[in-house]
Amino acid sequence: MGLFTGILTLPFAPLRGVISLAELIKGRVDEELSDPAAIRRELERAERAREAGEITAEEEAEIQQRVMQRLGANEKER
């Protein structure tokens, strides 16, 4: 980027920073959603909650279904 272009686009620098930050956050979220360890932790947390009586078996099944759908969506993107 030349000096003239840099000066003209300077007012847009904060916007470019926000866009960069949003892309970085999206990448981290995508990594977390597709991380096998995070998926396993979520399923284990649901199982412990059901065993403790905090949620019903149906709610646990719903959580499992959501996790599997998310996992399937991540596989399709790759």
Total of domains in the chain: 1
- What is the chain's Cα-based Rg? 21
Query: How far apart, in whole angstroms, are the C-alpha atoms of residue 4 and residue 9?
Result: 9
* Residue at 71 is within a domain: yes
- What global pTM score does this model have? 0.59
* Residue at 8 is within a domain: no
Q: How confident is the prediction along the chain (78 residues), in pLDDT tens digits per residue?
A: 688 888 888 888 899 999 999 999 999 988 888 888 889 999 999 999 999 999 999 999 999 999 988 877 766 665
What is the model's pLDDT at position 77?
Answer: 64
What is the model's pLDDT at position 42?
Answer: 93
* Residue at 67 is within a domain: yes
Pinpoint the alpha helices (H) of the chain.
3-8, 13-34, 36-51, 57-77
* Residue at 28 is within a domain: yes
Q: Which residue range forms the structural domain that includes residue 47?
A: 22-77
What is the model's pLDDT at position 6?
Answer: 80
Query: How far apart, in whole angstroms, are the C-alpha atoms of residue 75 and residue 78?
Result: 5
Chain centroid to CA 48: 23
